[in-house]
Amino acid sequence: MVGGKRTGIIDLHADLPADVIKYRDLGEHSVMERRHLPKLRKGGVTALIAPIWVESRFKPRNAMKRGLRIVDAFLEDLSESTNIVLVKDASALTAAESKGKVAIVLGCEGAEFIDGDLGILRLYRRLGLRAFGFVWNERNALADGMYHKDDDRGLTKLGRQVVEELDDQRILIDLAHIAPKSFWGVMEVAKRPVMVSHGATSVRTSLRNSTDDQLRAVAQSGGVFGIFAVNAGESRDLKAYVEHVMHAVKVAGIEHVALGPDFYDYLFDELKNEDDDHLPAMVGLEDTTKLDAVISELSRRGLSEGEIRMIARDNFLRVFKKVVG
Ligand SMILES: [Zn+2]
């Protein structure tokens, strides 16, 4: 709450499709409305990026089919919802917000599901894909994830072609999880502003730190850097989260910082089976209902209402509008 009026929050990374397909495969309906809408409302989330994230057991062979099944389940679920809507551009996003609905932007986290084919990438765009994360933790045909130990390969030839296609198709490039050499490979080719949907800064040791040079490069592209609620290294609570936000503000400039908390309270069982170690959640920032605490803490640290609104919502919206339209 700022000045008595609630700040709308855009969450740059919420793994909701993974939850939706799980429960729909069990025969349930309206998973978003029943399981997620109340929490999103309580947290003040007006829009979010929901990624296609293909579980490791499907990669690489069955990733394309799994990706399509995830999108199908998610779109089916949204078709049963009156309060949550898929949006494909900035004007649809703000129109949904003004009607009190939650706007969803379809993104992805790991590109295995396009099977190295630009035509399939374009088809996913027709299905609504508007943000594109190249990698999750591991290496794929495009780029290296940060958990991949040997990152000397960097962005591949196919990866460069994908960057050019994303620019042509006006899909927002997401550099979360990407290893440094691949990051700089994308930055050499990309012509539009880029996003890191959920990352951390170097202010504390944590998983997936970006260097200050990377933060500045995102800012120089005109893009936006979302801070995620990682529980690892020295980053284990709300205070650490806000320190990452403030460091990004200092290095990149306030117009290039956003919130991408990556809550996964509903995915613990899935993540236990994956090569991922950021469990459990940050103390004081366990799920989306706690986002108000971030707003309060930013206010306590002296940010104005307008500045908080930039971080919570407006910065992403500016980038989304510029890249996607
Ligand atoms: Zn992630």
The rounded Å distance from CA 136 to ligand 1 centre is 6
The 10 Å Cβ neighbour count of residue 29 is 12
How high is the mean pLDDT of the chain? 93
Residue (of 253, 192, 245, 189) closest to 219 by Cα position:
253
The rounded Å distance from CA 64 to ligand 1 centre is 19
The rounded Å distance from CA 5 to ligand 1 centre is 31
The rounded Å distance from CA 198 to ligand 1 centre is 7
The rounded Å distance from CA 98 to ligand 1 centre is 29
22 burial class (0-12, 13-18, 19+ CB within 10 angstroms)? middle
Q: What is the C-alpha separation between 216 and 190, in angstroms, rounded?
A: 15
The rounded Å distance from CA 268 to ligand 1 centre is 13
Instruction: Give domain limits for the chain.
Output: 9-323
Residue (of 195, 204, 270) closest to 231 by Cα position:
204
The answer, yes or no, to whether residue 152 has pLDDT greater than 80, is no
The answer, yes or no, to whether residue 84 has pLDDT greater than 90, is yes
The rounded Å distance from CA 19 to ligand 1 centre is 15
Q: What is the pTM of this model?
A: 0.95
pLDDT digit string (tens) for 271-291? 766 655 556 788 899 999 999
Q: Average pLDDT in the 214-220 region?
A: 98
The 10 Å Cβ neighbour count of residue 32 is 23
The rounded Å distance from CA 109 to ligand 1 centre is 7
The rounded Å distance from CA 4 to ligand 1 centre is 33
pLDDT digit string (tens) for 1-28? 444 457 899 999 999 999 999 999 999 9
pLDDT digit string (tens) for 25-59? 999 999 999 999 999 999 999 999 999 999 999 99
The pLDDT score that the predictor gives to residue 3 is 47
Counting residues of the chain whose pLDDT is more than 70, the rounded percentage is 94
Positive or negative torsion for Cα 155, 158, 161, 162: negative
The pLDDT score that the predictor gives to residue 282 is 85
Domain at 9-323, CATH homologous superfamily: Metal-dependent hydrolases (3.20.20.140)
The rounded Å distance from CA 52 to ligand 1 centre is 11
- Find the largest Cα–Cα distance for the chain: 52
- Within 8 A by CB and 6+ apart from 239, the residues are 284, 297
The rounded Å distance from CA 3 to ligand 1 centre is 33
Structural contact between residues 49 and 14, judged by C-beta atoms closer than 8 angstroms: yes
The rounded Å distance from CA 144 to ligand 1 centre is 14
